[in-house]
Every structure is written in C-alpha cells, then in structure tokens.
Amino acid sequence: MSAIRRVEVSGGTTYSIEIGAGLLDDGARLARTVRGRHALIVSDENVAPLYLARLEAALHASRPSLSVAHFVIPPGEHEKTLARFGECLGALAALGATRDASVIALGGGVVGDLAGFAAACWMRGIDCVQVPTTLLAMVDSSVGGKTAVDLPSGKNLVGAFHPPRAVIADTTALRTLPDRELRAGLAEVVKYGAIFDASFLDWLEAHAEALLARDDEALAEAVARSCRYKADVVARDLYEHGDRAMLNFGHTFGHAIETEQGYAGTRGDGLNHGEAVAVGMVLAARLSAALGRASAADVDRLKHLLERLDLPTSIPDGLAPQALLERMRLDKKADAAGLRFILWDKAGAARIVAGVPDDAVLAVLAAG
Ligand code: ADP
Ligand code: ZN
C-alpha cells in the first residue's frame, strides 16, 4: 500500500482526514474511529453493492463486538429529504443506538449530508465518520462539518454544523465513479488552486492526464492538498462569517446556472454542480479581468486547464443573461449592497468583493 496522507482539521473540534489506496479494507483504522458498541452505515443503492460488504467485513474483523446495521437510500440529490432523515433516525432507534454510537457515511455528498445531519440530531449529537466515495465529497462536502437536507422550497435549508469524528478517503473507490462525477470533483479541486495557490494550478496542469486516468497517487495528492486548503479556511472560519465564503469562487454564477436549469444536472440533462462551478469560475475570472483585477492570461490559463479536464467553460445555450442575473439577486449570498462575488486579484489569490455593478456582470454573461 502506498503512503497514507493525513490532514488535521481544527476549529471547534479536531479531527483527521486520512487519504490512501485501500483504506476501506483497513478495519483497524476504521474501528479506531468508532467509539461505542453501535454503528449505522448509511449508503446509497449505487455505492452499497460495491463497498458496503467490504466495509462491514473490515469492521467486523477488527471489532467483532460492534453491532453494525445499515440504512441504504436510492441515489440522487432528490433523496436528501426530511423523510429520509426521519427513516435514518428510525434505523438508529432500531439499532438501539446510544450516545456513544456512530454513524458511518459511505457514499457521496448526498449520503454524507444526510448521515451527518442524522448524527448531529440523534440524542443531540453522536459521532459521524465520513467515508466519502466521490471525489466531490472527498475534497469538499465531507470536510468542514456542514450537514443538511433539502426542502421542497430549496436546497440545504435544514441542517447543522456537525464536524465529523474522522474522514477516511480510499482513492480506489473512485475507480467505479462515473466519468462525469469524477470531472465534477476535479472542478472543485481546480477551485482550490484558483483561489489559494497558483503553484497547485501548475501541479494540476502537470497531472491532468494522471487524474483523469484515476492514478491513485495523483488522486491522493489532489485530495490531500484540496483538504488542506479547505481545512485551513474552515479552521479560521468554522461558521462561515468571513473567509470561508472564498470557497464560493465560481459558485454565484454556478448556482444561477444550476437553478435556471432547474437542477437539470441531477437528472442528467443539464450541468451538474461541478460542471456549473467550472463555467462559473471562468465567468468569475472574466469578471475579475473586466474590473481590472486579473490578467487575461490568467483567465485563459484557468479556462485551458478546465478544458483539459473535459469540463465546460461557457454558459449552456438557452440561458438568458438577464434571467441569470435575477437568479444571482435571489441567491442567499447576495445582500442589499448589491451583488457580492469572490473575485481574483490574480490566479491563486481571491477576495470577497461587494457592490459589483450589474452592467459589468451582464457584460460577462452576455459574452457567454
Ligand atoms: P456528490 O457528487 O455530491 O458527491 P452524490 O452523493 O449524489 O453526489 O453521488 C453522485 C453519484 O455517484 C450518485 O449516483 C452515487 O450513487 C454515485 N456514486 C458515489 N460514489 C460512487 C462510487 N465510488 N462508484 C460509483 N458510483 C458512485
Ligand atoms: Zn461546490
């Protein structure tokens, strides 16, 4: 087995993220993160047939006394509901879970958010161990402690800050991930380079092919570096009052595209979240250049890297600039002072800018 990378996260509680090939079968490591006598594994119908038995066997081998049950939901964002949350609590009740029980989230962001929120609420909070199986969950949602479910009126409207007890990311689980899901995760990886570290963009340029080929070492390095950037910003700003908002680079535009398409990406006929963020980052970079912040060369560099990763870089046909602008006004990230964006000073350095004039935004949207 190759080296295991470890990232410590602090701020509120402290936990570690461990990244490496084969960690799913490392029962001793998994068992160390589980304190009590009960564990509920939450997963979905795509992931469970691939990895649930392995995880259960590994846990059983190193802790035979642990009472393990599972709760498996159908796949997809539309399953992140209060109804599934209630069923998950029911599964904890059926297991006889006590205050030292653990929830283990085995899956992508949907499973992680739902399982994390159930853990946050069961007996006012029990341990949640995140075992992310998508790249997006490894580099983003499993780290930082945001948990939530959706309501019919909007995404993530009910939730809690509940940092995990540990995050265990096995890069070999990414071998079965559909191509589009892998690329969506890579968009968020590029985001970290774009806002925090131009040298990480160099690294990504040098390893684009290896990442697309799912090379374990390249993936582990990309996940570890991404988690480190996120851990740094989360430690400074656990509850998202300031710096953590930097992670929304590309997301104001991206969310407008996602909502204008009616979250079509979750049905497969529009952009998914990572793809929308890829387009959003290019738009944010171009807006930065238009406002005299970033250079055109930096914008081209970002666009070229995203293209090499097979990600979209322009607004899909049929989305009107004015409609997208209206969506951004309704976004919870907007405020009375006008639109707020995360803008580049240059590649690797971004800041939050309020009061961005509508006409500058419209010009960028109109150029596509
Ligand atoms: P996210 O992209 O936010 O992590 P999901 O939890 O919706 O989102 O996962 C994306 C899709 O990928 C879901 O259909 C899920 O079942 C599937 N999936 C997750 N992990 C794997 C994996 N390792 N192999 C195959 N499919 C996976
Ligand atoms: Zn995102």
Residues with Cβ < 8 Å from 129, sequence gap 6 or more?
A: 30, 33, 34, 102, 103, 104, 105, 164, 165, 166, 167, 168
Both 307 and 161 in a single domain?
no
Q: Whose CA is nearest to atom 9 of ligand 1?
A: 108
> Rounded to the nearest 5°, which phi and psi values hold at 143?
-110, 130
Residues with Cβ < 8 Å from 1, sequence gap 6 or more?
A: 20, 21, 22
pLDDT value for 237:
77
Ligand minimally distant from the alpha carbon of residue 226: 2
Looking from the CA of 316 toward its CB, the CA atoms found within 13 Å total 18
Q: Which of 41, 43, 45, 46 to mutate to test the pocket of ligand 1 (most atoms within 8 A of CB)?
A: 46
Which two three-digit tokens encode residue 287? 């807006």
**Could you confirm whether 124 is annotated as catalytic?**
yes
Both 316 and 290 in a single domain?
yes
Both 134 and 275 in a single domain?
no
pLDDT value for 266:
65
Both 150 and 222 in a single domain?
no
Query: Ligand 1 atom closest to Cα of 44?
Result: 16
Both 95 and 61 in a single domain?
yes
Cα gap 135→222, rounded to integer Å? 10
pLDDT value for 330:
84
ipTM, interface predicted TM-score of the complex: 0.99
**Could you confirm whether 326 is annotated as catalytic?**
no
Q: How far is the CA of 28 from the centre of ligand 2 (A)?
A: 32
Asked if 80 and 149 touch (Cβ cutoff 8 Å), the reply is yes
What angle, rounded to 10 degrees, do the helices at 179-196 and 198-212 form?
170
Both 186 and 96 in a single domain?
no
The residue annotated as part of the active site, out of 84, 230, 303, 340, is: 230
Last residue of a domain, one of 124, 148, 176: 176
**Could you confirm whether 251 is annotated as catalytic?**
yes
- Residues of the chain with pLDDT below 50 are none
Question: For position 293, which CATH number holds?
Answer: 1.20.1090.10
C-alpha distances (whole Å) from 7 to each of 134, 139, 166, 226, 305 are 18, 12, 10, 10, 26
Last residue of a domain, one of 176, 197, 231: 176
Asked if 112 and 142 touch (Cβ cutoff 8 Å), the reply is yes
Both 160 and 269 in a single domain?
no
Q: Which residues line ligand 1 (CB under 6 A)?
A: 44, 46-47, 50, 75, 77, 107-111, 133-134, 136-137, 141, 173, 176-177, 181, 184
- Helix ranges restricted to H, 137-197: 179-196
3 state SS of 40: strand
Looking from the CA of 339 toward its CB, the CA atoms found within 13 Å total 24
Q: Looking at 81-151, which runs of residues are DSSP E strands? A: 102-107, 127-132, 146-151
The residue annotated as part of the active site, out of 255, 293, 301, 327, is: 255
**Could you confirm whether 273 is annotated as catalytic?**
yes
Query: Ligand 1 atom closest to Cα of 173?
Result: 23
Written in H, E and C, the secondary structure of 221-290 is HHHHHHHHHHHHHHHHCCCCCCHHHHHHCCHHHHHHHHHHCCCHHHCCCCCCHHHHHHHHHHHHHHHHHH
Domain count, the chain: 2
Looking from the CA of 287 toward its CB, the CA atoms found within 13 Å total 32
3 state SS of 313: coil
pLDDT value for 274:
97
Residue stretches of the annotated binding site for NAD(+): 109-113, 133-134, 146, 155
Last residue of a domain, one of 145, 176, 207: 176
Q: How far is the CA of 94 from the centre of ligand 2 (A)?
A: 34
C-alpha distances (whole Å) from 286 to each of 163, 255, 324 are 35, 17, 16
> Which is it for strands 349-356 and 5-9: parallel, antiparallel or unpaired?
unpaired
pLDDT value for 235:
85
Which two three-digit tokens encode residue 275? 């793809």
**Could you confirm whether 225 is annotated as catalytic?**
no
pLDDT value for 43:
98
Cα gap 117→137, rounded to integer Å? 15
Both 222 and 299 in a single domain?
yes
132 dihedral zone (left: phi>0; alpha: psi -120 to 50; beta): beta
Asked if 344 and 250 touch (Cβ cutoff 8 Å), the reply is no
Residue stretches of the annotated binding site for Zn(2+): 188, 251, 273
Both 134 and 248 in a single domain?
no
Which domain does 338 fall in, by range?
179-366
**Could you confirm whether 248 is annotated as catalytic?**
yes
Residue recorded with tokens 């790249």? 135
